Amino acid sequence: MYHREWYIRNVHNFFCLLMSDQIAITTRMIKNEAARLGFSACGIARVEPVEAEMRRLDTWLAKGYQAGMAYLANHREIRRDPQGLVEGAKSIISVALNYYPARKRDPEQPHIAYYAYGRDYHEVVKEKLRQLWQYVLRNLPEGTAEEARVFTDSAPLLERYWAWKAGLGWIGKNTQLILPGKGSYFFLGEIVTTWKADAYDKPVPSRCGTCDRCLRACPTGALEKAHTLNANHCLSYLTIENRGEIPPREARLLGNRLYGCDTCQQVCPWNRFATPATEPDFQPSEALLQLQKEDLKMFTKDDYNRIFAKSAVKRAKYEGLIRTIKHLNIE
């Protein structure tokens, strides 16, 4: 028995040694490096054309639920098949980066979405993704050439779908990706690459169950049903992406929301597991934390540039904030 076990073990080690010349980088190594870089989750999905999710997107677009975000109808074929972003792509490495703030603004003061508290996430996430890809390149077999591009909310890519397929979490009834035991306060990022993984992750089944707190809490009913958001009524869309006026009905329901909403995440039971972000770039400035209602009465462009210099709040532009301020009760 001893000799048989010795033989099996050494044959296994021999084949592992042979394979090591072909696969120098593994999914486990990538996930460990992602964790070292500060990502809260990392998974890898095999690149395949997206069919069912695209049909849902087509139906959503046909109803006009994208509101003024006409760009969501562009590049349909690339959304369906990420090989349009990287020719010959075989894998998508998906990551999640925590942005939940340790310090929050006074809830009696104008609300700013948590994701915009710190430095604009696009560059922060992309820089970490570049570092992760450089790690992959350093560990590829000698003479191997692989191509990749990094993205975070910056390409016609179905980010939440690929994060789900890579096993990071499930898409909740509020349309947010929910990480088990961690919640939904995360930025998503992707590396689309020609590298073929030694193992691929499996999707996480939904754990929303019968809970419908997000649907009941949505202040305007923009969450018409589970997994269906009508952006025409969404206060997050109307105060960030929207370039026109806020409709009268939604304006009356703004409350103290200056930029974004967060309600459907705040009521989600899974976010009781949220822990404060440790990324230094996501820590809010004192100027942002201390912004008061009174400051908005004479809010100048200099104030805007000073307080939101490197923040995602810039997405709304100064004119967008002034439009929203007009509807807030700041007397």
Output the CA torsion sign for 9, 144, 41, 277: positive
Q: How many beta carbons lie within 10 A of that of residue 316, not counting itself? A: 23
Q: What is the distance between the alpha carbons of residues 85 and 151, in angstroms, rounded to a whole number?
A: 10
Kindly report the backbone phi and psi dihedral angles of residue 112, in degrees, each rounded to the nearest multiple of 5, phi listed first. Answer: -120, 130
With a CB cutoff of 8 Å and minimum separation 6, the contacts of 137 are: 146
Q: How many beta carbons lie within 10 A of that of residue 51, not counting itself? A: 8
Kindly report the backbone phi and psi dihedral angles of residue 329, in degrees, each rounded to the nearest multiple of 5, phi listed first. Answer: -85, 90
Residue 225, beta-bridge partner list? 228
CA of residue 282 relative to chain centroid, distance: 14
Q: How far is CA 278 from CA 39, 105, 117, 118, 146, in A?
A: 10, 18, 13, 12, 32
Ramachandran class of 262: left when φ > 0, alpha when ψ lies in -120 to 50, beta otherwise:
left
With a CB cutoff of 8 Å and minimum separation 6, the contacts of 41 are: 95, 96, 168, 169, 179, 182, 186
Radius of gyration of the chain (CA): 22
With a CB cutoff of 8 Å and minimum separation 6, the contacts of 4 are: none
Question: Could you list the active site residues?
Answer: 153
Q: What is the distance between the alpha carbons of residues 74 and 160, in angstroms, rounded to a whole number?
A: 18
Residue type, 272: R
